[in-house]
Structure formats: structure tokens, C-alpha cells
Amino acid sequence: MVESATNPPPAVFDAWIDPLPDDADDALAIHVKHQTLLRAYQARYVVLPSETPTGSILDHFARHYDEDRLQRLGALKPGLEAELIAPLQAAARAASGDGDVLAYVERLLPELRAAAGDAFLEALVEAPQREHHYRNFLLQSSADLLAEASASALGIIGEFGPPQSALFRILIDEFGFGSHDRKHSVLYRATMRSFGLVDEYNHYSRLFDTNTLVLHNAIHGLFQNPRNLFQQVGFLLFAETAYQRSTLFHQRHLNRFHPQADARYFAEHAHIDLHHTRMVVEEVVTPLVARFGPEIGREIITGAELTRAVFARAGAGQLALVAAFDAAPSAAFGLGDHGGPAVTPGARVADAAARVQIGAIGSVSAGDFAHFPAGAFGRVAA
Ligand SMILES: [Fe+2]
Ligand SMILES: [Fe+2]
């Protein structure tokens, strides 16, 4: 992507895609493919910088929404989805059982609501550097949450009967019922600011790790393709139910360790997502299955199981980083330089003493980073 030195784009328009070195390992190649798919999906969003930018806003728009750029990304999208998203869908479909979605709902809701805790948050209780890990959790989650529910908004247009109106009622809750201060993404911004993070959409997109990109792209792969309507419903079924529990754990964590932080985002979800689950089950899943039968039951379960898999992967990745930082002798905590070349643990970095920044957690030497778990991602400090 060409960036003008005299008129650099504001962060919201960041369209950066890392170059792939000739000797890149598979993990870095996968990362860059996901990053490309992220940019393809993001190109569908209307974004504006919160501060007046340098130069003309129309010039920034013309560059960001340039038809040639959009066409290039659009042409890459089907191949990237086939390579990166379809296998996740196939694995989830294999876990969809007999397609009896009403029996699945009967099992799923009590299972998710009985969750005793969150392994990542439990690890932080014992971690002296918990604030840095939590800041990274917020940064990684911002990929989706700073435009929360915009993915699902893409699934709402069209004409598909009473379930459409139920989904629309959920959507307007996500958008604060038209009151900007109550919009969920705006509540999330406040939590980010509590931890000293910049709350601008895309500000940290170059620090998103591979698991974050997988989660973002799996959700967008569902919602940016109308053929996945029933899997979209499965996403909402799982996400609204899991969220009412996980947000409660986050609210308690913040109350205990960061009582000054703005926790309204989590408090709001622990409450409202109880209603959203009920609406999805009663007003969307049940009538759709009554109309179209078990064929779509399997699709809904597939969407839910896909969501379970990508949530679990993101959680396990963050947990693994807590242990990896604990074990790294060179660890230095804090959000540092993040503009350098992308690296994965399998990459060859000539200088073993070079610093590698990992999300908002901190940096380690390239030598230590080579022992980080598969899936870790960092940038060599410039
Ligand atoms: Fe929400
Ligand atoms: Fe919700």
C-alpha cells in the first residue's frame, strides 16, 4: 500500500499488509493471509477519524475506498476464505452431530452458564504483570469490539420474515438504541482508555496476533456472505450465551484488581445478553427450524461450534503468552515500538538480541521469542 509522506492516513484508514519475505515460515505466511482478509473485510466499513486529520478527508476517502484497491482485495477474498475459513467450518460441521438444534440448545445453555471461571483471568490472579496481559487482552479484542455488532449488521439487510425483526432488535441494543454514549463499542472505548490505550479503531491493528485475526475473520466470513445466514444465527446463539458469563468474570476481575477502570462494557453485557440469548432461541432458531427443518439445524450448530472453536483458540493463545513471558529471562513489560517487521517464533532473526514486541504485553529478545508457543506473533523493534 502506498502511503503519502505528506498526508499520512489516520489510523482508522490503516490498510497495511506486511510484505512476505522469501524465507517466511508457514506461520508468518498464514498471518499475512489473514491480515489481507482482515483488510478486505474492513474495506466494507464506513470509518471516520475522531480527530480532524491532516489534509482533506475526501482525499483520505478517495484513497481508502479507491475502486481499484477494493477490487484487488475483493478478488483475493474467495480464495482466502476457501483456504482459511472453510476448513474451520468443515471441522465445526463435523462436530454438529445429528442436527437436532433444539436438543443442542437444551445442552448448550446450561453448559455455558455453568462455566466456573475463565482460565486466562485465573492465570492473571497469580501473575504480577497482570496489568500488561490484561491490556493486551483489550488490545486484541479491540479488533472486533471497536466496531462491535457491525459484522452482524451486515447480516441484517434483506427481507427474511419475523426472525429478521428479532435480530434487528438485538442489533439496536448493540448500537445503544441510537444513543451514542450507550453504544457497546463506545463503552468498550472507555475501558481501553482506563488502561491507557488509544481507543481509535485500527490504531493497534499491526499488533493483532494471528489468533485475533482468525477470530475476526471467522466472524466476518460468516456475516459478509449471505449464504451463511444460518451459521450467523449459530454464532449469535453461542456468543450471546457465552458472553453473559465471560463478561461477568471480567467485571469481577476489574472490580478486584483495577477498581478505577471503567467496567460498564462488561456490566452491560452480563445483563443484556441474557435477553439476547432468549431472543435468538425463541424468535430466531425455533421458528426457522419449524419452517425449514433439520437441514438448517445442522447449519446453526455449525456456526455455534465454529464460534466455540475460535473463542477457545483466542483464549488458549492468551493463556500461553502468560506462561511464555514468565519463562522468558529477557522479558520487559510495556507497550513499546510496534512498527517493525513481523515475526513468528519460527522466523530467522539475524540479531538474537533484537527486541520483539508482542502485542501490548511487552518485548523479549529474538532469542527468547524463538521458544514462544506456535501462534505467537511479534514485531522486531525498529
Ligand atoms: Fe454487545
Ligand atoms: Fe448482545
Domains of the chain and CATH, by start:
89-326 (1.20.910.10), 332-380 (no CATH)
Q: Which residues pair with 357 in a beta bridge?
A: 363, 379
What ligand has the least distance to the C-alpha of 238? 2
Average pLDDT over residues 145-152: 97
Q: Which pLDDT belongs to residue 339?
A: 78
Contact 297, 101 (CB under 8 A): yes
SS3 state at 365 = strand
What ligand has the least distance to the C-alpha of 145? 1
237 alpha carbon – ligand 2 mean position (Å): 10
- CB neighbour class for 19 (10 Å; exposed up to 12, middle 13-18, buried from 19): exposed
> For residue 95, is pLDDT > 60?
yes
235 alpha carbon – ligand 1 mean position (Å): 13
Q: What's the pLDDT band for 379 if we cut at 50, 70, 90? A: very high
Average pLDDT of the chain, as a whole number: 95
What ligand has the least distance to the C-alpha of 235? 2
Could you tell me which residues come within 8 angstroms of residue 100 by beta carbon, excluding any fewer than 6 positions away? 294, 297
Residues with CB under 5 A from ligand 1 (ion): 174, 184
Q: How far apart are CA 242 and CA 265, in angstroms?
A: 15
Q: How far apart are CA 111 and CA 241, in angstroms?
A: 10
241 alpha carbon – ligand 2 mean position (Å): 9
What ligand has the least distance to the C-alpha of 150? 1
SS3 state at 156 = coil
Q: Which pLDDT belongs to residue 254?
A: 98
> For residue 338, is pLDDT > 80?
no
Q: Which residues pair with 378 in a beta bridge?
A: 343
334 alpha carbon – ligand 1 mean position (Å): 29
SS3 state at 356 = strand
In the chain, count H helices and then E strands: 16, 5
> For residue 10, is pLDDT > 50?
yes
Q: Which pLDDT belongs to residue 2?
A: 45
183 alpha carbon – ligand 1 mean position (Å): 8
H-only helix segments in 154-209: 162-174, 184-194
240 alpha carbon – ligand 2 mean position (Å): 5
184 alpha carbon – ligand 1 mean position (Å): 5
180 alpha carbon – ligand 2 mean position (Å): 16
Long-range interactions of 312-317: CB distance < 8 A, separation 24+: 313/211, 313/214, 313/215, 314/140, 314/211, 314/212, 314/214, 314/215, 315/118, 315/119, 315/120, 316/119, 317/209, 317/210, 317/211, 317/373, 317/375, 317/376
Q: How far apart are CA 121 and CA 259, in angstroms?
A: 15
Q: What's the pLDDT band for 6 if we cut at 50, 70, 90? A: low
Global model pTM greater than 0.85: yes
259 alpha carbon – ligand 1 mean position (Å): 22
Do strands 332-333 and 342-343 pair parallel, antiparallel, or not at all (unpaired)? unpaired
List pLDDT tens digits, range 209-241.
999 999 999 999 999 999 999 999 999 999 999
Average pLDDT over residues 32-47: 97
